[in-house]
Amino acid sequence: MLVFVIRRVLISIPVLIASTVVTFLIVKLSGDPLTPLKQRQSTASPEAKARFIQQETHRLWLDRSWPTQYWHWITNILFHNNWGEQVVGHDNIRTDVFTALWVTTRLVFFSVVIALVLAVVTGVVSAVKQYSITDYTTTFFGFVFLSMPTFWFAILLKQAGIWVNDKTGSHIFATIDQPDSWISPGQLVGHVLLPTIVLGLVGYAAWSRFTRASMLEVLNSDYVRLARSKGLKPRTVLVRHALRTALIPLTTVTALDIAALLGGAIVTETVFNWHGMGYLFVVSLRAIDFNVMLGWLLVTATIVILFNLVADILYGVLDPRIRHA
Amino acid sequence: MLETHDSVTEETQQQRSDSKVEREFTVKERSQWRMAGRRFVKHRAAVVSVVVFILLVLFAFVGQKIWHYKYDGAFLPVDEINQGPSLKHPFGTSTEYDQMALIMRGTQQSLKVAFIIALGGTGAGAIWGVVSGFFGGFIDSALMRFADLALTIPALALAGALARRGGGKLWIIGLVLAAVSAPYVARVVRGVVLSLREREFIEAARALGASNTRIMVRHLLPNTIPVLIVNATLLIAAGILLETALSYVGFGIQSPDTSLGLLIVQAQGAVDTRPWLFYFPGIFIILIALTVNFIGDGLRDALDPRQTRERR
- Cα–Cα distances in angstroms (integers) from residue B209 to residues A240, B132, B212, in the given order: 53, 21, 9
CB contact under 8 A, A259 and B164: no
Instruction: List phi, psi (to 5°) of A297.
Output: -65, -35
Using CB atoms, which residue from A23, A144, A147 is nearest to B153?
A: A23
CB-CB contact of B133 with B191 (8 Å) = yes
B53 forms beta bridges with none
CB contact under 8 A, A263 and B154: yes
Position A118 scores a pLDDT of 93
CB-CB contact of B75 with B96 (8 Å) = yes
Q: Is the pLDDT of residue B309 over 50?
A: no
Mean pLDDT of B145-151: 84
CB contact under 8 A, B153 and A22: yes
CB-CB contact of B85 with B276 (8 Å) = yes
Q: Which of A10, A147, A148, A299 to mutate to test the interface with B (most CBs of B within 10 A)?
A: A147
Q: Which residues of chain A are within 8 Å of residue B166 when distances are taken between CB atoms?
A: none
Determine the residue of chain A that is closest to B273 in CA distance.
A159
DSSP secondary structure letters along B53-112? HHHHHHHHHTHHHH-SS-SSSSPPPGGGTT----SSSTT-B-SSSBHHHHHHHHHHHHHH
Q: What is the largest CA-CA distance in chain B?
A: 79
pLDDT confidence band for B58 (50 / 70 / 90): very high
CB-CB contact of A279 with A270 (8 Å) = yes
Mean pLDDT of B244-252: 86
Following CA atoms B88, B91, B96, B97 in sequence, which dihedral angle do they give, to the nearest 10 degrees? -70
Mean pLDDT of B17-44: 72
Min Cα separation B15/chain A (Å): 39
CB contact under 8 A, A29 and B161: yes
Q: Is the pLDDT of residue A2 over 90?
A: no
pLDDT above 70 covers a percentage of chain A that reads 94
Q: Is the pLDDT of residue B166 over 50?
A: yes
CB contact under 8 A, A147 and B165: no
Indicate the range of A2-11, A39-48, A119-128, B181-190 predicted with least confidence: A39-48
Min Cα separation B164/chain A (Å): 6
HSE at residue A109, side-chain half, CA atoms within 13 A, is 6
Asked if the C-beta of B34 comes within 8 angstroms of chain A's C-beta atoms, the answer is no
CB contact under 8 A, A263 and B155: yes
- Cα–Cα distances in angstroms (integers) from residue B211 to residues A17, A270, B170, B218, in the given order: 37, 53, 39, 10
Q: Which residues of chain A are within 8 Å of residue B264 when distances are taken between CB atoms?
A: 149, 151-152, 155
Asked if the C-beta of B150 comes within 8 angstroms of chain A's C-beta atoms, the answer is yes
Position B45 scores a pLDDT of 85
Position B52 scores a pLDDT of 95
Q: Is the pLDDT of residue A119 over 90?
A: yes
Position B118 scores a pLDDT of 92
CB-CB contact of B275 with B82 (8 Å) = no
Q: Which residues of chain B are within 8 Å of residue A260 when distances are taken between CB atoms?
A: 154-155
What angle, 0 to 180 degrees and rounded to 10, lies between the N-to-C axes of helices A258-272 and A93-128?
A: 110
Mean pLDDT of B225-252: 87
pLDDT confidence band for B34 (50 / 70 / 90): confident
Q: Which residues of chain A are within 8 Å of residue B248 when distances are taken between CB atoms?
A: 151, 267, 270
pLDDT confidence band for A229 (50 / 70 / 90): very high
Mean pLDDT of A249-257: 82
ipTM of the assembly? 0.81
- Which runs of consecutive H residues, i.e. helices, occur in B19-75? 32-42, 44-61, 63-66
CB contact under 8 A, A285 and B272: no
CA–CA gap between residue B27 and residue B2 (Å, rounded): 6
CB contact under 8 A, A19 and B249: no
CB-CB contact of B2 with B27 (8 Å) = yes
CB contact under 8 A, B249 and A270: yes
CB contact under 8 A, B241 and A150: yes
Q: Which residues of chain A are within 8 Å of residue B244 when distances are taken between CB atoms?
A: 149, 151-152
Position B286 scores a pLDDT of 93
Position B22 scores a pLDDT of 60
* CB atoms near residue B184 (< 10 Å): 20
Q: Is the pLDDT of residue A172 over 90?
A: no
Q: Is the pLDDT of residue B3 over 50?
A: no
Mean pLDDT of A257-285: 83
Task: Note the pLDDT tens digit of each residue in A122-141.
Answer: 999 999 888 889 988 998 88
Strongest mean pLDDT among A57-66, A267-276, B240-249, B278-287: B278-287
CB contact under 8 A, A18 and B150: no
CA–CA gap between residue A277 and residue A266 (Å, rounded): 7
What angle, 0 to 180 degrees and rounded to 10, lies between the N-to-C axes of helices A277-287 and A290-318?
A: 140
Q: Is the pLDDT of residue B197 over 80?
A: yes
Task: Note the pLDDT tens digit of each residue in B86-123.
Answer: 877 888 888 778 888 889 999 999 999 999 999 999 99
Position B130 scores a pLDDT of 93
3-state secondary structure (DSSP) of residue A55: helix
Using CB atoms, which residue from B156, B161, B237 is nearest to A30?
A: B161
Min Cα separation A109/chain B (Å): 17
Q: Which residues of chain A are within 8 Å of residue B298 when distances are taken between CB atoms?
A: none
Position B254 scores a pLDDT of 83
Higher pLDDT, A228 or A33: A228
Following CA atoms A248, A249, A251, A254 in sequence, which dihedral angle do they give, to the nearest 10 degrees? -160
CB contact under 8 A, B152 and A304: yes
Q: Which of B156, B241, B243 to mutate to test the interface with A (most CBs of A within 10 A)?
A: B156
CA–CA gap between residue A97 and residue A104 (Å, rounded): 10
Instruction: List phi, psi (to 5°) of B93.
Output: -135, 155
Position B107 scores a pLDDT of 92
Task: Note the pLDDT tens digit of each residue in B277-299.
Answer: 889 999 999 999 999 989 988 88
Min Cα separation B248/chain A (Å): 7
CB contact under 8 A, A260 and B155: yes
Determine the residue of chain A that is closest to B164 in CA distance.
A30
Min Cα separation A152/chain B (Å): 7
Higher pLDDT, A325 or A23: A23
Q: Which of B152, B247, B301 to mutate to test the interface with A (most CBs of A within 10 A)?
A: B152
3-state secondary structure (DSSP) of residue B256: coil
CA–CA gap between residue A27 and residue A281 (Å, rounded): 12
CA–CA gap between residue B162 and residue B30 (Å, rounded): 47
CB-CB contact of A155 with A273 (8 Å) = no
Looking at chain B, how many residues does it have?
312
Position B305 scores a pLDDT of 57
Using CB atoms, which residue from A147, A156, A270 is nearest to B293?
A: A147
Using CB atoms, which residue from A15, A30, A149 is nearest to B164?
A: A30
Task: Note the pLDDT tens digit of each residue in B13-26.
Answer: 554 455 555 666 66
Q: Which residues of chain A are within 8 Å of residue B294 when distances are taken between CB atoms?
A: 143
Mean pLDDT of A256-279: 82
CB contact under 8 A, B248 and A26: no
CA–CA gap between residue A63 and residue A86 (Å, rounded): 16
Asked if the C-beta of B148 comes within 8 angstroms of chain A's C-beta atoms, the answer is yes
Position A316 scores a pLDDT of 79
Indicate the range of A180-184, A277-281, B17-21 predicted with least confidence: B17-21
pLDDT above 90 covers a percentage of chain B that reads 27
Q: Which residues of chain A are within 8 Å of residue B149 when distances are taken between CB atoms?
A: 15, 18-19, 22
CB-CB contact of A318 with A248 (8 Å) = yes
pLDDT confidence band for A161 (50 / 70 / 90): confident
CA–CA gap between residue A298 and residue A291 (Å, rounded): 10
Q: Is the pLDDT of residue A169 over 60?
A: yes
Mean pLDDT of A97-110: 88
CA–CA gap between residue B138 and residue B118 (Å, rounded): 29
What angle, 0 to 180 degrees and rounded to 10, lies between the N-to-C axes of helices B221-249 and B155-163?
A: 70
